[in-house]
Amino acid sequence: MIGDHIHQTLKQVRELQANILEKQRFKGYSGRARAVAGTGALVGTGIMSMNFYPGSINAHLVGWATILSFALCLNYGALVQWFLFDPKVKRDIRRLKPVIDGMPPLLVAGLFTVALIECGQFSYLFGMWLAMFGLANLASRHVLPKGIVWLGIFYIVCGAALSLAPDQSFLSPLPVGVVLFVGEWIGGVIIHYDGKVDSVMRQAVITEMVDGPIE
């Protein structure tokens, strides 16, 4: 009887911990949207690298603006859909706090973009963009899967490497497209499978605690 009672108590404790973790984990980002946006970045930079594409700064700025718009529509469109229609969210504005936490690096990136363009320092844009995007990933690390931390570091390292690379030209966008493609597919996979992995691991832990021997 005592053993059964202990088993039941342990099960309730583990389920309570799992429920708390589930409420803390942010589910508003779409792994599929990230992967598709990364693919769009690769395709877009590939097009800009072709001979028929105009080789001017303005044309490439327009190209990057198009890639950014595509990514924003996908990711924030999925976020809005989650916020409005997920019954667990209940349209509680407080659930969007992780999104707000990730905004400062993106806003700083926008300001630096304007400043660098005004100064004609286009070669520094790529490195700055990747580094700031890495910081945006790290900003919400406490409510996202642990792998996002390494993804943020990956973007920061790539951004630093591009910033220090000699003769890095703004008119050669393909390397950045490859980085974004790889990074966004990794991030997409991490986010998409996070819920499934957590569910399996949580059930395994509960089963082990309930059915395992008590020492």
pLDDT tens profile 65-85:
999 999 999 999 999 999 999
Q: How far apart are CA 114 and CA 104, in angstroms?
A: 16
CA 209, 21, 142, 83 torsion-angle sign: positive
pLDDT of residue 209: 46
pLDDT of residue 215: 45
Confidence of residue 165 (pLDDT cuts 50, 70, 90): confident
Q: What percent of the chain has pLDDT over 70?
A: 81
User: pLDDT at residue 206 above 50?
Assistant: no
**Taking all residues of the chain, what is their mean pLDDT, rounded to a whole number?**
87
As a dihedral over the C-alpha atoms of residue 20, residue 23, residue 25, residue 31, rounded to 10 degrees, the angle is 140
Q: How far is CA 52 from CA 39, 55, 66, 123, in A?
A: 21, 9, 17, 22
Residue 180's nearest CA partner among 7, 64, 52 is 64
31 contacts 192 by C-beta, under 8 angstroms: yes
Summarize pLDDT for 96-139 with one digit per residue, the tens. 988 999 999 999 999 999 999 999 999 999 999 999 999 999 99
